[in-house]
Amino acid sequence: MFKYELGLKVKCRITELVGMLTARSENINMCFRYYVQPKVNKDMKLPDGMWIDEDDIIVLSKGIAEKTIKKETGGPISNIK
């Protein structure tokens, strides 16, 4: 089972990438990974995120609540302020 909920604000202990958990995957060898998406930068461009192993994630805050995620359009990234 996955250790973290989507929508959390996290940091990778290896790369120090900070962002929101927007997706998760389970590999055949039971490796759980999460996609960390950084915030939109000052130029209003969405930086590339990366897949991070579950053991390398540090939770910084709750991020966004599930009730604020627009299910019909946009997804969690459209709700980042």
pLDDT of residue 62: 86
- Domain with 55, as residue range(s), is 9-75
Higher pLDDT, 15 or 65: 15
Q: Does 46 fall in a domain?
A: yes
33 backbone dihedrals φ, ψ, rounded to 5°: -130, 155
Residue 17 lies in a domain: yes
Mean pLDDT for the stretch of residues 3-31: 94
- pLDDT tens digits along 27-78: 998 899 999 999 998 899 999 999 999 999 999 998 776 555 555 556 666 6
Has residue 59 been placed in a domain? yes
Q: How far apart, in whole angstroms, are the C-alpha atoms of residue 15 and residue 62? A: 21
* Residue 25: inside a domain: yes
Three-state secondary structure string covering the chain: CCCCCCCCEEEECCCCCEEEEEEEEECCCCCEEEEEECCCCCCCCCCCCEEEEHHHEEEEECCCCHHHCCCCCCCHHHHCC
How many domains, the chain? 1
Higher pLDDT, 57 or 81: 57
Please state whether beta strands 32-37 and 18-26 pair in parallel, antiparallel, or not at all (unpaired): antiparallel
24 within some domain = yes
